[in-house]
Amino acid sequence: MARINDNYLKLQAGYLFPEISRRVTEFTTANPDAKVIRLGIGDVTRPLVPAVLAAFHAGVDDMAKGESFHGYGPEQGYSWLSQVIIDKAYKPLGVELKTSEVFISDGSKCDSSNILDIFDLSNKVAIGDPVYPVYNDTNVMVGRSGAANEQGYYEGLVYMPCTEENDFAPAFPSEKVDVIYLCSPNNPTGTVTSREQLKAWVDYALENDAVILFDAAYEAFITEADIPRSIYEIEGAKQCAIEFRSFSKTAGFTGVRCGLTVVPHELMGTTATGEKYSFNKLWNRRQCTKFNGVSYPVQKAAAAVYSDEGWAQVKEVIDYYMENARIIREGLTEAGIQCFGGVNAPYIWLRTPEGMTSWDFFDKLLNECHVVGTPGSGFGPSGEGYFRLSAFGDKEKVVEAVGKIKQKWGK
């Protein structure tokens, strides 16, 4: 009989969001008349904007004619899309990139896991706590860790607690690490890394020969002027960082699928025998072998996000979600619930009322207010006693949810 990958058995629980769905389904089955308000998984609810939709349709129509039909595209994505991204999303930040450094993909969740293919298992990896569970679980799945301890920390991984005490900004690891995951704006805490903090991380990575995996999936939600939207705004970052970006939250592509990963030519690692080798070359090799690119109509739609018309429409949707974030943040704060994030990110991280555990609050909120959120402990041990609400819902439902929470826990 074939052997399974036993590393999967080390994972303590099912993936967080399916577990939430399971509990919600159980509740709705038992209470078919309850109208549940879903502010759990960060899934968008607004439709694709007209300019994006028109380009998407045009892309499909192209596929109907012999002269404009597209078969396999480049595994790295069409260079016209990479060029638009460089011109519209990076150049205004003062960041120069080549199209050969931008890899279009079907999303940053996949990329931030697949990237492990190009790192040796011996690398020491540091992740935040709480953290987007994909970083932790995929390292366990590839065999970089031992078992989890009672608290939920896996042996062999280095955790960087992000707590109220350090304003959710992790301290440098106390031991030598080779790979560091950073996420700003942060999922789940909704907080951001300042320019000074990011510079300190880049300097640290350069001094310690570490690679930063920088997840910028929520950069479009930044509202404050001086917060970096890309790690490459920091000098030296091209020698030490890979950046992930996504169209999912920015432009409502969670069901469409498109993201990108930047692997600069300057970024080097070492071979087993100590020679320098380009991570860009390795990622290119990986993508060419294991990936066949994103569909042509989807890439057409993605390019339209950055047209003048498209961006104006997309920006309106982002503002809509950020208004929801304001409503949640201010409403809960009024109710005496301590809130973090929600200013430069579509997530509000709150302290559970009455000292409840994260899952107890989840169950109470679902059963008594019919509101779904995400328990902080699902993002790591330091998330215990916290809870995440997503701002991606319909405004009326967000207002209703906040009203119910205020009524139940307001002081």
Residues within the interface to ligand MLT (CB under 6 A): 41-43, 109, 187
Q: Are 130 and 383 in contact, with CB atoms under 8 Å apart?
A: yes
Report the residue number, 109 or 370, with the smaller CB distance to ligand MLT: 109
Q: Are 157 and 125 in contact, with CB atoms under 8 Å apart?
A: yes
Minimum distance, C-beta of residue 410 to ligand MLT, in the bound complex (Å): 26
Report the residue number, 42 or 269, with the smaller CB distance to ligand MLT: 42
Which parts of 265-366 fold into alpha helices (H)? 279-290, 296-305, 308-334, 358-364
Q: At 83, list the tokens.
A: 């060029």
Report the residue number, 131 or 337, with the smaller CB distance to ligand MLT: 131
Minimum distance, C-beta of residue 322 to ligand MLT, in the bound complex (Å): 16
188 closest CA partner among 231, 218, 210, 154: 218
Round to the nearest angstrom and report the end-to-end CA distance of the chain.
61
Report the residue number, 279 or 340, with the smaller CB distance to ligand MLT: 340
Minimum distance, C-beta of residue 187 to ligand MLT, in the bound complex (Å): 5
Minimum distance, C-beta of residue 169 to ligand MLT, in the bound complex (Å): 19
Q: At 150, list the tokens.
A: 């009672």
CA triple 183-168-384, angle to 5 deg: 100
Report the residue number, 279 or 349, with the smaller CB distance to ligand MLT: 349
Report the residue number, 183 or 301, with the smaller CB distance to ligand MLT: 183
Minimum distance, C-beta of residue 321 to ligand MLT, in the bound complex (Å): 13
Report the residue number, 187 or 382, with the smaller CB distance to ligand MLT: 187
CA-to-CA separations, 354 to 235, 244, 330, 385, 386, in angstroms, rounded: 45, 37, 19, 10, 11
Minimum distance, C-beta of residue 81 to ligand MLT, in the bound complex (Å): 21
Q: Are 179 and 124 in contact, with CB atoms under 8 Å apart?
A: yes
CA triple 257-259-265, angle to 5 deg: 150
Minimum distance, C-beta of residue 99 to ligand MLT, in the bound complex (Å): 26
- DSSP secondary structure, 47-104, as one string: PPPHHHHHHHHHHHHHTTSGGG---S--TT--HHHHHHHIIIIIGGGT----GGGEEE
Q: Are 127 and 162 in contact, with CB atoms under 8 Å apart?
A: no
d(CA 291, CA 147): 31
Report the residue number, 44 or 234, with the smaller CB distance to ligand MLT: 44
373 closest CA partner among 408, 328, 411, 406: 328
Minimum distance, C-beta of residue 59 to ligand MLT, in the bound complex (Å): 24
